[in-house]
Amino acid sequence: MAGLEGLPGYGRWGASLDVLLGHRGPLWVYGEAGCGLSTLGAWLAQGRGGAFQDDAEGLDPAALGAWIEAHP
């Protein structure tokens, strides 16, 4: 996985990664296509031991709803 330090805006949010890893509720991250959010989302999910749903996978609304129900 690519290093997070190279992602746009890391200087602003990089110091908060420990807080994000410790947050037990769901996290919603958003950004423009190609900005590295898939990398950040996967890193957070791995570090938190949780599931990760990447909108880039393009699930239809029914499939997305089923995924959300399965991963509260």
The pLDDT score that the predictor gives to residue 37 is: 84
- CA distances from residue 54 to 21, 35, 59, 71 in whole angstroms, order as listed: 18, 13, 9, 13
The pLDDT score that the predictor gives to residue 15 is: 92
The pLDDT score that the predictor gives to residue 22 is: 92
Q: Where are the domains of the chain?
A: 8-70
The pLDDT score that the predictor gives to residue 67 is: 80
The pLDDT score that the predictor gives to residue 1 is: 46
The pLDDT score that the predictor gives to residue 38 is: 86
Please write the tens of the pLDDT for every residue from 1-59.
Answer: 458 888 888 899 899 999 999 988 888 887 887 888 888 888 998 999 888 887 767 77
